[in-house]
Amino acid sequence: MWIEWFIRCSKSFSKWPLRFFYDECKRHRYMLSFSPLLFINNRKIDNISLNKYDWEDNERKYYRNKYHTQSTLFGSSIIGALTSAAVVFSWENDGVTDEELQQASSDEYLLNMTHSQVDEALITLGWEKILRKDHLLLFRKYDHDLQVYAYKIFGTFNDISALVFLQVQLDLDYRMKWDDHALHLSIIDTDEDTQSDIVHWIQKFPFPLNHRDYLYVRRYCLDISMSTSPKILIKCHSINHPNVRNDKKCVRVKKYESSMIIQSKHNLDEKGMKFLLTYYEDAKASIPTSTYSYLAQSGIPDFVEKLHIAAKKLPKSKQYLSVNSLPQCRFLNDISG
């Protein structure tokens, strides 16, 4: 298609192709989000209607919602068995390990630093600061082995709790309400032993790009190993699974990994929290690196604020997570032993 050719050619030109592409995204109100870094609608959600959300009377246990699993398996098992017979998945080999979760916590020291101290520490390690606001920091670093940029995002909110911030990310039904460009979100499989989920996510990309298809395993746990406030760890990485076939209308993102630390200022269920997200992905978009980075600088803050607003609008009566419901990190046993 000539438009795709035009976008590729923008690598060889200076300003006007970049401006053309950005104006098109802006005209359709597309920006970039994070976790994964995706195109989303940038409209404000101040008027989001929670009345449209079909809440059930029973206590919602999202991460054990069998409706997603059953409906997804029914729709994809027949075709998936024929097209993905060679795909093998096992929780032991492909799930998130205890070691990965422990490694995800290694950047916790950064959350206890001032912005200036974070700048100094990360710049020394080769990270580039591309955005700084009162409640948000954004860094990037090019990974030559993976040939993608890795990002670090720091955020601070004083009007929501760590538990609410976690729930808004776990609740896929709610995500479908406040993220207009999440075309499909479902749980494919669940491991009761590690309390991990496999998530299938189809995200809308702006024309002329195809939609992106994400399939990843997600695991979270409560880390109380430090004497400071407890923190929540979330680890995700892309995988293959025989129950999900490749959709020809989408581009499968095969390189995706993220680590998030959510730390409360007081207690996990009290207002006041901060987070650090580190991630990379290869979205296989025919967009010049300079254009992608330009959109990221404006799109990531918009998405973080959108997530923040969604967390503030989550009714207290529907906040089902509690400290006791969170699985504790298994590597704590190794430390205590």
- How far is Cα 152 from Cα 143, in angstroms, rounded to an integer? 13
Block residue for tokens 């955020």: 155
- How far is Cα 3 from Cα 209, in angstroms, rounded to an integer? 10
Of 233, 266, 190, nearest to 100 by C-alpha is 233
pLDDT recorded at residue 294: 65
pLDDT-flagged residues of the chain (< 50): 1-18, 21-22, 25-85, 336-337
Q: Are 184 and 202 in contact (CB under 8 A)?
A: yes
Strands 231-238 and 250-252: unpaired
Q: Are 303 and 39 in contact (CB under 8 A)?
A: no
- How far is Cα 259 from Cα 235, in angstroms, rounded to an integer? 5
pLDDT digits (tens, 9 = 90+) for 190-222: 999 999 999 999 988 877 788 899 999 999 999
Block residue for tokens 């600088």: 297
pTM confidence score: 0.74
The full set of domains in the chain, from first to last, is 89-332 (3.30.530.20)
pLDDT recorded at residue 228: 65
- Token pair, residue 46, equals 């101040």
pLDDT recorded at residue 334: 56
pLDDT recorded at residue 9: 46
- Token pair, residue 127, equals 């990270």
In order of 65, 103, 330, 332, the CA distances from 337 in angstroms are 35, 19, 11, 8
